[in-house]
Amino acid sequence: MPFVVNLHCQFSIVFIFTLQITLDMKKVAVIGAGTMGNGIAHTFAQFGYTVSLIDVAQSSIEKGMATITKNLDRQVAKEAISEADKAATLANITTFNSIEEGVKGVELVVEAATENIDLKLNIFRQLDAATSPEVILASNTSSISITKIASVTTRPDKVIGMHFMNPVPVMKLVEIIRGYSTSDEVTDLIMDISRKLNKVPVEVNDYPGFVANRILMPMINEAIYTLFEGVAGVEEIDTVMKLGMAHPMGPLQLADFIGLDVCLAILEVLHDGFGNPKYAPCPLLVNMVTAGKKGVKTGEGFYSWGHGTKDLIVASNFKK
Ligand SMILES: NC(=O)c1ccc[n+]([C@@H]2O[C@H](COP(=O)([O-])OP(=O)(O)OC[C@H]3O[C@@H](n4cnc5c(N)ncnc54)[C@H](O)[C@@H]3O)[C@@H](O)[C@H]2O)c1
């Protein structure tokens, strides 16, 4: 009997410890202050978390903090938050250039650095060394295997995908990706935290493209093939999908927003991962990326950008 009582006590201690992590988690680090990282930091800070925003590039930190301030101003103007909420959100964010400094005392890290496998593996090796073993390490990767990222750490049960959508403060979905070894406890906790951020988490398993990009990217690729084969023009393809399928924007416009280089990289992950020719990127997409026409971020993709109007102007290569 004493043995049973003792065991019970041990279980109680484990249970209380787990529960405390769940309820008390308050400090997070976000790696990368770019498009996604600043949105993720903004969202955690708005919901009361203390956030360390870490980027190797000081210019990214400055641009990221300016974007957060501008987006908070927009929320104030829409009366979604008050001036006091804005001030509290900004006060919750501290910036760092070093991972070792920034992750001190945090309970969760969300990595949102550049989509490059070697870079991410290096960051996770660094995070594994710089944080205590109970810290959960999440990645916002769009396509890199969570199982692969977890394999360079000593805590694969605590590595998970937390795939926010762009723009993060606005978009409701978080795709929660379970790596091969991610534990139930960590998955449940990350689902809970996502709900606390007023998001809707959806749990998926770790296979190429997860769910969002496995379905979205073949649609975008097919739209590019439809253009490439001369079935219809840019405007016609996007109009069919907007008005016929009630999509808020056409697939070619969406590809320009995501970045054609990012679309190409994800299609290559799908193609390599499944070995199925149906995922082969359209040669037109490959050509455009090679020519530096990557969409909004370079000023030209299927449309021309940066002309200062809200009108959609088809890029000169695709004008009829
Ligand atoms: N852009 C999107 O629409 C989108 C959507 C969902 C997920 N994602 C994913 O989010 C991640 C970030 O994408 P993004 O669009 O924000 O990229 P981005 O290029 O806008 O930002 C990446 C940032 O990472 C920083 N960085 C690079 N190496 C670093 C390091 N070692 N330590 C700290 N910071 C480092 C860069 O300086 C840069 O500021 C990627 O994994 C991407 O696949 C992007």
Residue 309 CA, distance from chain mean position: 28
**Within 13 Å and on the Cβ side, how many CA atoms surround 41?**
33
Strand partners, 136: 108
Any ligand 1 atom below 6 A from CB of 112? yes
pLDDT tier for residue 178 given thresholds of 50, 70 and 90: very high
Backbone angles phi, psi at 226, to 5 degrees: -65, -40
pLDDT digits (tens, 9 = 90+) for 196-229: 999 999 999 999 999 999 999 999 999 999 999 9
**Which two three-digit tokens encode residue 43?**
């969202």
Q: Considering only CA atoms, which residue is closest to atom 39 of ligand 1? A: 34
Q: Alpha-carbon distance 137 to 110, whole Å?
A: 6
What DSSP character marks residue 158?
Answer: G
pLDDT digits (tens, 9 = 90+) for 239-291: 999 999 999 999 999 999 999 998 999 999 999 999 999 999 999 999 999 99
Pick from 112, 117, 98: nearest CA to 40: 112
What is the average pLDDT value for the chain, to the nearest integer?
92
Residue written as tokens 């749990």? Answer: 203
Residue written as tokens 């993720």? Answer: 40
Q: Alpha-carbon distance 295 to 315, whole Å?
A: 10
Pick from 130, 99, 89: nearest CA to 33: 99
Any ligand 1 atom below 6 A from CB of 142? yes
The ligand 1 atom at the shortest distance from the C-alpha of residue 126 is: 31
Given this model, what pLDDT does residue 92 score? 98
* Catalytic residue numbers, as ranges: 142, 163, 175, 213
